[in-house]
Structure 1
Amino acid sequence: MSKSQFSSPFHQNELVRTKNYLAGSLFESSFIFKTSKGANILTEIPEGVVDPDGPAPPDGVAVVIGTVIDTDLRVTTLGNWSKYMENTYNKPITSAKHTFLIIEPENDPTFAGDFTKAVTVLKRLQTKIAKTNKHLWLVQQNNGEDMICFAFHVFEPKTENSAPSIDMIDLPVPTECRDTVKELAESHVVRDFVVWDVDGTRLAPEAIESKLPGALVECYFGIEHRSFGGTDSFSGIINQVIILRPAQLKPPSPFKPSAAASKPFRAPILSAEQIHAQEQRAVGYFTTPISSPGPSNVFQTPTKRRASKEPDGSAQKRNNTRQGKNKDDESSDST
């Protein structure tokens, strides 16, 4: 969907008909938290009669729309992990996550209102399942502004059913991490962080960091809840991201040179007539021009003498002219 074709009201009308849209009326009656492996996972409520011996209901997928901010944007190869985390907090490289935040969309009243509704629904879900009043990570606030935080695990343990993964040997990682990543290839695979551009093409991993900030995005995610240490932790686990509208270009700052102004100066290529006209304007007060129109179309940069001083002999010509005028004045006075 191109930028010119995208319509917020039309797209909203499509989303509210689904049970996955957080701001829609069907969401809260369609999902519930189920306990799995020590965590509570948002799960889809099955329709009709449930077979106890049948397959488990699928994990729930929520949908919300917001604007990505550059705060805590960590979507490069190793996401939020660094050697500092390993050395200081004993966090292994397998804990690496891509993380980003979205806020209420600017200049889009349709989805701005829906974002507020979505945050309200998330807060109600947290209250229903939480054991404390301290709810971390998923819904955050900064200076009174609500934000939703998302995460995506970079690595996952390798299994027999693991899909083909990106070759870890080719991952662009810092030099100090290369050996660790190569060793990890024996036991883990790299997960695909799926981000779709406005035209429906999938973004290359190296393009995600530049495309997300400021973009209006549609986020598909699951929710995981854990209680520990007197707090309740909620994680928004990203499934995929769709860019609905790219970031708006910001006007250049008057205090910083523009990209064009910072480029090296290159003199324009002028015609012989243009060169001659410039020279005539520059030395119009002299008796004869420096040159006449010719075949050359290469701009000649003035020398320091030409740019700042008079050509050789011009001062003498002017003095002679002034001396001749003085003699004429004297002769007229004597008569």
Structure 2
Amino acid sequence: MSNPVPLTEIWRGDRVESLHLGHAVICAPSGEILRAWGDPDAVIYPRSSAKMIQALPLVESGAAEAAGLTSEHLALACASHDGAHIHTDRVDAWLTGLGLDDDDLRCGPQMPDDPAAMKELLCADAEPRQVHNNCSGKHAGFLTLTKHLGAGPDYVGIDHPVQQAVKAAWEDVTGEPVQGWSPDGCSAPNFAGSLKGLARAMAYFAAAREDGDSPRERAAARLRAAMAKHPELVAGEGRACTRLMRAMNGAVVVKTGAEAVYVAIVPERKLGVALKIADGATRASEATVTALLIRLGVLERGGEAAASYLDAPILNRRGITTGHIRAAPGLLD
């Protein structure tokens, strides 16, 4: 990954102990780069930060409407959830409504990250199911589109009509051809692209109108609104995505991806943000997206949520503050 720059600093006492390098882009819907740090042409896997792009065919095809999906379903289609009952109960009911069950998913089982759900499984000596996978909402969306298209059951195949529809949507909203792909942690194809393309796509979502001119624009607006309305379904209690969206009262949508990718959709400014921390550190991606949201004037720096990720104290095992997580110079200026 070429020419990453410092984005997050880890201070201990009066000196910088560690640096997290990466790339970040703020973009307009036209593709114009308004501000960049590092290399905006850096090619990355967006991982789960791109789930709203993967959900576009579900909505624009009419499959969501035909299946009677609500804003809760659409939020889950874009989610990387914790596997709490508020997530798994809804996905179970969604599958039942399609005449399907856990075995029809292709995401694989995952122990839930939600502490209560994890404890429940462990105490019952029960194995996690695929519905506990953080991507099960996205996969329920894929199954909904699969059924609508009358396509085969192996919807994660790169040549499957569902994934070909996702590829076409990706290339449209990023404004560039895909630059390769790899199976994601949930087995669905994850398309590689430039960071500026990902930021452009987020700006597309930011500018989209529910009464827009095309089914794709209207779909983007619906998905954005669903995520903003249900931040607890997009991630979970205590998670950065949920806490930051709540702190901004739904005015901005943020979404994380594995290996320290983060995106933000800022409708009021019609802006998209995308960032990637080179070493894959989540603490740095959360601090960096928080700093950029403060820079854009959409998140209060002194608020509780912001303070949890930026200027956040680092505590030792006795609870003594030993340092802080800070934005690198130039990120907030």
TM-score interval w.r.t. the shorter chain? under 0.3
Which structure dedicates a bigger proportion of its chain to helix? Answer: 2
Q: TM-score when scaled to structure 2?
A: 0.23
Larger radius of gyration: 1
Structure with bigger RCO (C-alpha 8 Å, 6+ apart): 2
Normalized against structure 1, the TM-score is what?
Answer: 0.23
Between structures 1 and 2, the one with greater strand share: 1
